Every structure is written in structure tokens, then in C-alpha cells.
A and B are shown apart, each in its own frame.
Chain A
């Protein structure tokens, strides 16, 4: 088991290097620092000196891969690649265009992101499973058919609609909760409630429908027939057998997104003014702050790979037949 985890961790390194090289190619080779400077300074009053100054300020005035002018190890280290891309492996992200340290920013913004993403994840899972079980319990009745049609309709509505409608009705028209914003401590609950509610409702359609297919598949298996033959009640079959076994694919499927919860949700956070990593990313994209975007790409892929490893471990944990070697 331990050697398996170690091997997976080692396997993660080439993937992170791949991500790193790809982002380096996208942000420095295809889109040269000169292009970035021109985009940042605006097309109208761009002089060669202004571009040079911008590049020096941001540390992009070095050669890309190999510094011919330097000596010894400096040849490799005093380059854009080493200082801006390779440094990420040590989680040194440098500074954003606003001069703030990105690593610091990430640490302070993870809290608010988690405050939204974690409740959405947990409550969403519970709500979706409840709805799915209800539909399975009433399967092949009109109640079930209605539930499925409702799910398809819910998932056909744009996610933006849920947010805008939620903000408009709950916050503006009925004045129940603040439209947007965030606060520290217990006061935060007021601000968290609406985004969590909206995100959970937005996820019901696809979530409940997906879990329903898992349970329906489970219910057609032999052990369920055996349980019924023993004379167990339908409710007992559903909760003791189907739910328990259906949870295996549901939970292992959910594990992969667990680390990504730190990244927060782009749209929800920016609409509700939550100072988390999601709104940080959106602001960076809109301000074309490449240092932040690169840092978020690296962080996102790092967390995704952690999620993949956790998934493998959770498989062997819930299902002892799966042996990891």
C-alpha cells in the first residue's frame, strides 16, 4: 500500500512537469512577453522603452531558456523558465501585477473558498442522494417519471439563471439575505447561505439523475433479489443494501473533486463577491494578470493529481477486493 502511494506520487511529478511546460509554452513562447506588455499597456501609446520597462518591472527581461551572458549555473537559473515556471515546484509563485505576493494571497483566500465549496459539496451530496433514493423508491410510477423529467428540465437551465434569479428574488425582492459580500467569523453565515443554496439547487438536476441511474443499476443485481426473497421490506432493501453498495461509485467519484474544493467556484464567487480563489482567478483573467493565471493553473493541476491519488486509495478502502500494488 505504502509503496503504491509512493509510486503514484512519483508518477505525479512528470505530469506536473508536463503541465508546467505546457503553460510555459502558452504564456511565454506563443504569447511572448512583448505581446503581454503591448496588451497590458494598451495598443495606442506603446514605445519600445515602455515595453522594456514593463518587462524589467515584471522580471520578464531575461532570456527564455538559456542565458548566454551569465556564467556557471546562472546560465540556467537566470532565465524566465527557471524563475517563473520551475520555481512553482517549490510553491514560489512570485508577485501578481498588483505587487502582492501570490502565495500569500492563495493562503488567505482558501478560507472563504472552502466556506462556500465545502457546504455545497456536503449538502449537495445529501440532497441529491435523497432525491435519487425517492425516485428509486417510486420507480416506474408517474412520480418517478415526473422526477426524471423535472431533473432534465433543471439541468437544462443555465447555471447563471439560478444565481441571477436567486440574487434577485431572495436578496433584492424579499430582502432575506445580502446580495453579495463576505465577513469573517460567525457573521459570515449570513453571506454564505445564499450562494450555498443557489449552488445546491443548481446541482440537483444532473446530480440526482446520475445517482438515480447508479441505484437503479444496483437494484437489478442478484443480491437485491436475494434480500427481497428473504422477505425484507422494500425500505430495508433500499437503505441496507442498495444505498450502501451504491455509495461506492458515488463516494469514489466524489473524492476526485475533494481537493479541488480549495479552488472554489469561479462563477459563484465572482457573482456573490466572495474573496476566494475563484474570484481571484476571474479577476486575474479579466485583468490579464498572467503571473496569477499561471499560478492557478499549477495549483489546479496539483490538486487534481492529489484527487486522483485519493480516488485510488479510497477504492481499496471501500472495496477490499481491490488490491493496490
Chain B
């Protein structure tokens, strides 16, 4: 074995979540009344385009959640020693993007360092911008940079277009054969938008993503597309690594929120009386404490715990990971109250409906009534809350990292990128690429999540029917 698999806490939970989602999809596919609203979501071009972008983010995040440690080259085979650095499958896939470091800042697509240094040239020491070790190293001089970039972008465009064209042709032939029509007839349907799914939008989106990916691949080979940061690390690599952090915060937090909100909300609304009073009391207390301060207190506690129990966390990644998990848990604990209140109100209405009364008259147990009659009827609210909360959580991470109670400072996250780079705007010339990259990635993920959430809400919320 040349590597040892490492399962961090958040990794395990991410895959547990994946299993839960897979189970839900399987259940939904078999039940007509659950499948119908999802079919409506699939009809919406905007929502499906957003879902595609989200899928790309999720794929990168999942690849980045398979962690391992490499075996040290000089350790023997029967008593292997493993590196303290925890890598992921994603790191292995991007290869040199991770290891190609420069000395310090360099601008996007640059071939020279950001600051002047003493360099030796033809035996004379002059003060000039030194060449980068990796960025544009294949170029003879600065004049060759622009044409090279143009050539590579054009090549990427061509590759991306060609790849998506081939894929589209294959799709057309496959679908036409399955439907038993001529390919030209299928293409006519595609053009007229008669395929029953937003085919044109999705084709366009796939082409766009393919072209973007191909251009990036062409450029990352020999350039730092988003420049490098203070210690010379490629900013594109950091931004991509931050995707996992954002996704984990957005999803695992809801994993904590859901059981609390569902159980307390439904129980309070169903049983009323003193149980209702007690649960309302708990969530008013939690709600009235400013969230940031509660999070700050919890993060400090975890910090103290990690420092006093160093033996449980053998790598820096494990320490950062437990803090990320703690952040998700405490954010979940502070944010279940809104959904719980919503579910309580809905359950109060449901419990007076005839079919629930009838079930009670037949002597059906409380647990069964809640499970069979109440929960399925409030499930759409839960779903809408999940997708609506996600984008807020991703944005909150940046703010919390700024306050100093976010993820571990050693962890790659957009919040940490922003926090580290915001003072660099005072430099001359301005170091803007780190901020720019972090905000761009965050914007892409949150916008996709918001648009998808809109689609889901419109499809599930009967009140919104037809209206936007």
C-alpha cells in the first residue's frame, strides 16, 4: 500500500448525507405524488441550468472529500510511515496545480513576480521583476506572452466546442434511436423545444461549462490563471479547494437542523399544551441570543478542547476538520428555530383536519399519525427550507471567518481567502485577484443555489402556483 485512507469526521457525514439523498431519490421515484413536483422542477430551464452548475460544484466537493495520506518514500514496507499531510483524490487529479508554487504574489496569467528583486542578468545584478518558476516558464520573452495566451484560449474554445458537439451528436443519435424516429426529426423537436425537458438551455449550459473547462485546462498547464497568493500558492487551486468547505457548511448544518426542527416543530404543534409551551420556551431563548456570539462561544470551547486533547487529532487536517464540524453543529443548533416554528404552525392546522381526526378516532397511535399523516404533508416545507438556507449558510461562512470564529485559519475557504486578502487592496499596484477569485466562486455557487431554490419553491409551494 502506498497510501493510507483517512476518513475525517466531515467526510463520513458527507457520504452519509449522500446515502440519505440517494435513498430519498429512490423513494420519490416510486411515488407518483412526490415525483410530480420534481417533474415540474425539471421543466424549468433556469432551475435545471442552476442544478447543472451545482452538480459540478458537488462533484468537485465529493472528490475532495476522499482523503488519504501518502507513504513516506524512505519507510519500509512492513512498518510503513505516512506523511502528515492529508491529501484528497481531488489533489491527485489536479496534479501539479497544487505543487507548482511561486515565491509570492503574481498577477493572473503573469510570467513575472509581483515585486521587484535583485536578479543576476548577464553577470550584472539589476533590480527587476524576476521570472516565475512555473507561470509562463516556457516563453522566451514577454512579447511572446499575449499571442501564446490567445492561442491557448482559442485552442481551449475549439476543444470545448468539439467535445460538446460530439457529445450532442451521440445524444441525438441515442435518443432518436430509442424514440424510433429519424435523427433529423429529433433535432427539429430539439430546436422547437418539444422534447419535454429544457433541452436547449441544458445543451447551451453543458457547452458553456465544457468550453470553460477546456480553456482553463489549456491555461493552467503553463500559467497561474488567477495568479498566486502571498506564499506563492496558486489561487485557482485554493478557490477549488474552498468549494468543499462551502458545501460542507451548507449541507451538514442542515443535517443538524432537520432532526431538531422536525421533531420539535411537529411535536409542539401536534401535542400542544405544556409540551408546546416548553418547546416554544426553548426556541425563544435560543432565538433571542445573538447567533454570532453563541457561535463564538462554541468555537472557543472547541478550541480549548482540541488544545487539551492533542492526542485525538494526529494531523492538522483532523484539527481543522473537527472545528469545521463544530461550526456546522452550532450553526445548526442556532438555526433550527425558524423551520420549527413553521412546522409547528402547519401541524396545528393539520391536526384539526378530518383525516387526522378520523385516524385518532380509530385509535391509531400518535407516532403512526405523525409518521403517516402529518410528516408527509409538511415535507415540502422542509425541502424548501433546506434549499433556501443553503445559500445563506455559504455566505455566512465568509462573515464568520472575518469575525475570527469561522473555519480553522489553515483550512482553505473563501472566507479565509477574503480575510487574508482584504488588506492587500491598499498595496500599489493593487492585489485584487485573490478577492476577485473568492467572490466569483462564491457568487457562482450561491447564485446557482438561489436559482435552484426558486425553482423548487415554485414547484412545491401551492400558493406560488403560476406566479413567480
| A residues neighboring B (CB under 8 Å) | 14-15, 18-19, 22-23, 26-27, 30-31, 35, 38-39, 43, 145, 148, 152-153, 155-161, 164, 167-168, 172, 216-217, 220, 263, 266-267, 281-282, 285-286, 288, 293, 296-297, 300-301, 304-305, 308
B288–A15 touching, CB < 8 Å: yes
**Smallest Cβ distance from A264 to chain B, in angstroms?**
11
A23–B289 touching, CB < 8 Å: yes
Q: Residue B289 contacts which of A43, A285, A300 (CB distance < 8 angstroms)?
A: A300
Task: Please tell me the number of chain B residues within 8 Å of chain A, measured between CB atoms.
Answer: 45
A285–B405 touching, CB < 8 Å: yes
- Fill in one digit per residue for B432-468: 1 if any A CB lies within 8 Å of its CB, else 0: 0001000100110011001100100000000100011
B301–A30 touching, CB < 8 Å: yes
Centre residue among A22, A43, A285, A286 by max chain B CB count within 10 A: A285
Contacts of A22 in B (CB 8 A): 285, 289
Contacts of B468 in A (CB 8 A): 145, 148
B402–A267 touching, CB < 8 Å: yes
* Cα(A141)–Cα(B285), bound, Å: 45
Residue B124 lies at the interface, judged by CB distance under 8 Å to chain A: no
Residue B94 lies at the interface, judged by CB distance under 8 Å to chain A: no
State which of B190-198, B205-213, B291-299 sits at the interface with chain A. Answer: B291-299
Centre residue among B426, B450, B451 by max chain A CB count within 10 A: B450
- 20 residue pairs A–B, Cβ–Cβ below 8 Å: A15-B285, A18-B281, A19-B285, A22-B285, A22-B289, A26-B297, A43-B307, A155-B450, A156-B391, A157-B443, A157-B446, A158-B399, A158-B439, A220-B467, A263-B290, A266-B403, A286-B404, A297-B294, A301-B288, A308-B284
A158/B395 contact (C-beta < 8 A), A164-B422, A164-B425 known: yes
Contacts of B405 in A (CB 8 A): 285
**Smallest Cβ distance from A111 to chain B, in angstroms?**
20
* Cα(A304)–Cα(B285), bound, Å: 10
Least CB separation from B422: chain A residue: A164
* Cα(A308)–Cα(B280), bound, Å: 13
B447–A156 touching, CB < 8 Å: yes
Q: Residue B398 contacts which of A156, A158, A300 (CB distance < 8 angstroms)?
A: A158
Q: Residue A158 contacts which of B294, B296, B443 (CB distance < 8 angstroms)?
A: B443
Contacts of A23 in B (CB 8 A): 289, 297
B290–A285 touching, CB < 8 Å: no
Contacts of B447 in A (CB 8 A): 152-153, 156
A159–B435 touching, CB < 8 Å: no
Contacts of A19 in B (CB 8 A): 285, 288-289
A31/B297 contact (C-beta < 8 A), A156-B391, A300-B288 known: yes
A305/B300 contact (C-beta < 8 A), A158-B439, A286-B404 known: no
A285/B398 contact (C-beta < 8 A), A153-B447, A168-B425 known: no
Complex interface residues of chain B between 282 and 316 (CB less than 8 A to chain A): 282, 284-285, 287-290, 292-294, 296-298, 300-301, 303-304, 307-308
A266–B289 touching, CB < 8 Å: no
B391–A296 touching, CB < 8 Å: no
By secondary structure, the B interface counts as: helix
A297/B289 contact (C-beta < 8 A), A43-B307, A153-B447 known: yes
Centre residue among B297, B414, B418 by max chain A CB count within 10 A: B297
A152–B450 touching, CB < 8 Å: yes
Q: Residue B297 contacts which of A18, A153, A293 (CB distance < 8 angstroms)?
A: A293
Contacts of B395 in A (CB 8 A): 158-159
Least CB separation from A296: chain B residue: B293
Q: Residue B435 contacts which of A26, A164, A216, A263 (CB distance < 8 angstroms)?
A: A164
A159/B399 contact (C-beta < 8 A), A152-B447, A172-B425, A216-B467 known: yes
A-B pairs, 8 with minimum CB distance: A301-B288, A18-B285, A156-B447, A300-B290, A304-B288, A156-B446, A35-B304, A285-B296
Q: Residue A300 contacts which of B293, B304, B422 (CB distance < 8 angstroms)?
A: B293
* Cα(A18)–Cα(B280), bound, Å: 12
**Smallest Cβ distance from A227 to chain B, in angstroms?**
20
**Smallest Cβ distance from A60 to chain B, in angstroms?**
15
Q: Residue A285 contacts which of B287, B403, B435, B450 (CB distance < 8 angstroms)?
A: B403
Q: Residue A14 contacts which of B281, B294, B296, B443 (CB distance < 8 angstroms)?
A: B281
15 further A-B contacts with Cβ under 8 Å, apart from A27-B297, A158-B439, A308-B284, are A15-B284, A23-B297, A26-B298, A31-B300, A31-B304, A152-B454, A158-B395, A158-B418, A267-B403, A285-B404, A293-B297, A297-B289, A297-B293, A301-B285, A301-B290
* Cα(A232)–Cα(B172), bound, Å: 55
Contacts of B443 in A (CB 8 A): 156-158
Complex interface residues of chain B between 255 and 299 (CB less than 8 A to chain A): 281-282, 284-285, 287-290, 292-294, 296-298
A156–B450 touching, CB < 8 Å: yes
* Cα(A30)–Cα(B297), bound, Å: 10
B284–A160 touching, CB < 8 Å: no
Least CB separation from B426: chain A residue: A172
A266/B292 contact (C-beta < 8 A), A18-B281, A160-B418 known: yes
**Smallest Cβ distance from B344 to chain A, in angstroms?**
16
**Smallest Cβ distance from B404 to chain A, in angstroms?**
5
* Cα(A282)–Cα(B293), bound, Å: 9
Contacts of B414 in A (CB 8 A): 158
* Cα(A300)–Cα(B307), bound, Å: 30
Centre residue among A158, A168, A172, A266 by max chain B CB count within 10 A: A158
Least CB separation from B446: chain A residue: A156
- Fill in one digit per residue for B121-134: 1 if any A CB lies within 8 Å of its CB, else 0: 00000000000000
B450–A281 touching, CB < 8 Å: no
Centre residue among A30, A161, A281 by max chain B CB count within 10 A: A161
**Smallest Cβ distance from A58 to chain B, in angstroms?**
16
* Cα(A38)–Cα(B300), bound, Å: 12
Q: Residue B293 contacts which of A148, A220, A281 (CB distance < 8 angstroms)?
A: A281
**Smallest Cβ distance from A230 to chain B, in angstroms?**
24
Least CB separation from B286: chain A residue: A22
Q: Residue A282 contacts which of B300, B403, B446 (CB distance < 8 angstroms)?
A: B403
